């Protein structure tokens, strides 16, 4: 597919960070990915990203679970719970997820490492770059494709389910070559590959 280069994006501009964004919106978006990550590590299954949230289909549970990062609401079957106001740094994410599972009558399970590399990569990118740079993960125009967007449409890159990343300049790279790196470093490399910021250089140049 041909991509159209963004000529309006200026990577040398001053970083606005989250200066003009709502703190609740930022924290809810990040927590949505972190909670999904924790749930996948406990129950295993498939994931998908839609316009305003994440859907999880677990192998051994009865219903799909949706996390809406606009409202901070989780739906599972006929049950609903809110999470955006409940995170306590002293208790941590693990306790929050346990409380959510209790609210939704989901059996408790201990987390294990799961194999969904792309989703783990997305979670780490959101943890590192969403608050600072407003990086977002969106469904792509094609099936099995996701858009990595900086800000409100300022610049984008794309990642396919085959692990091929493409930046807005039409350059492509296979993410499999970074899978043996720490997930944090791989997230930095993907961000740099997309040339979103002059402080994160492209790892292939």
Distances (CA, A) of 20 to 69, 127, 129, 138: 18, 19, 16, 21
**Is the pTM here over 0.85, yes or no?**
yes
pLDDT value, residue 205: 59
C-alpha–C-alpha distance, residues 165 and 167, integer Å:
7
- Assigned token pair, 47: 């994931």
Q: What is the pLDDT of residue 18?
A: 46
For residue range 73-82, what is the model confidence (pLDDT) as tens digits? 999 999 999 9
Find the Cα–Cα–Cα–Cα dihedral 177, 178, 180, 181, rounded to 10°. Answer: 150
* Lookup: tokens for 120: 């783990």
| pLDDT beneath 50: ranges in the chain | 1-14, 17-18
- pLDDT at position 166 is 94
pLDDT at 182: 93
The sign of the dihedral angle between the CA atoms of 60, 61, 64, 66 is negative
């Amino acid at each position: 597919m041909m991509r159209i280069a963004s000529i309006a994006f200026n990577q040398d501009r001053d970083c606005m960070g989250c200066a003009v964004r709502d703190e609740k919106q930022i924290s809810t978006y990040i927590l949505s990915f972190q909670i999904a990550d924790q749930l996948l590590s406990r129950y295993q299954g498939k994931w998908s990203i839609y316009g305003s949230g994440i859907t999880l289909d677990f192998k051994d549970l009865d219903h799909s679970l949706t996390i809406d990062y606009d409202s901070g609401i989780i739906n599972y079957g006929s049950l609903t719970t809110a999470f955006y106001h409940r995170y306590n740094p002293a208790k941590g994410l693990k306790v929050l997820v346990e409380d959510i599972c209790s609210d939704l009558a989901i059996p408790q399970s201990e987390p294990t490492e799961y194999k969904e590399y792309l989703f783990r990569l997305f979670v780490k990118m959101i943890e590192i770059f969403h608050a600072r740079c407003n990086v977002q993960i969106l469904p792509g125009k094609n099936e099995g494709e996701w858009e990595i967007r900086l800000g409100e449409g300022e610049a984008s890159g794309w990642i396919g389910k085959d692990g091929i990343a493409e930046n807005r300049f039409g350059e492509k790279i296979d993410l499999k070559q970074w899978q043996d790196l720490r997930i944090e470093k791989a997230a930095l490399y993907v961000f740099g590959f997309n040339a979103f910021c002059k402080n994160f250089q492209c790892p292939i140049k």
